[in-house]
Amino acid sequence: MWLPLAEYSMKHKVSISTLRRRIKAEDIQYRLEDGKYFIFDTDPTATTTTTVENRMSNPTVEAHRPSLKSDSSAVMEAHQKAEGESVITAANRLLTDLKKAYTQVLQEKEEQIVSLKEEITDLRTLVRVLESENQRLNQKNNPQYTGYSQQNLDY
């Protein structure tokens, strides 16, 4: 069954950026339709929960990174624990959890930035190659053509 990136990401607890890296490396079966990626789900009966044992035995499934959005069951659990603790202790524990989630989100964004910088570098190289080839072909067809100078190609 083919799933959109976001749905596959939520179902298998894998970030979208990780899925995009796997697509780029061709480590995952995918297809592109109308500019949208779909990933083949080999286990359509899999649930959205993944155990630690499954993650350890299956290296292709990354551990889920918690986001700043928490589901209602986690909030309920936090409130139930907070009833037995002092308000300050509960607040400190929740603050620590929030800091961890925020740090993980920042780390993922930093990975995305690195990936985008690499893509920009690749695109700049491609532009230079294509412009060089264009200039070569123009000079071949029209020997008087001078083309762009290197100073005009400042990216």
Instruction: For 38-54, write each residue's pLDDT tens digit.
Output: 999 887 665 544 433 34
Per DSSP, 65 falls in state: P
pTM recorded for the entire structure: 0.36
Q: What is the pLDDT of residues 87-131, one digit of tens each?
A: 898 889 899 999 999 999 999 999 999 999 999 999 999 999 999
Structure tokens at 53: 């044992």
CB 59 within 8 A of CB 65: no
- Write down the pLDDT at residue 152: 53
Is a pLDDT exceeding 50 seen at residue 31?
Answer: yes
CB 2 within 8 A of CB 38: yes
CB 14 within 8 A of CB 62: yes
Give the neighbor-by-neighbor strand order of the sheet with 36-40. 2-4, 36-40, 30-33
Which residue type is seen at 138?
N
| 7-14 contacts at long range (C-beta below 8 A, 24 or more positions apart) | 8/39, 8/41, 10/48, 11/41, 11/46, 11/48, 12/46, 12/50, 12/61, 13/48, 13/50, 13/61, 13/62, 13/63, 13/64, 14/61, 14/62, 14/64
- Write down the pLDDT at residue 87: 87
Alpha-carbon torsion (33, 5, 47, 75), positive or negative: negative
Q: What percent of the chain has pLDDT over 90?
A: 38
Q: What is the pLDDT of residues 13-27, one digit of tens each?
A: 889 889 999 999 988
Question: Where residue 145 falls among pLDDT bands split at 50, 70, 90?
Answer: low
- Indicate the average pLDDT of the chain: 77
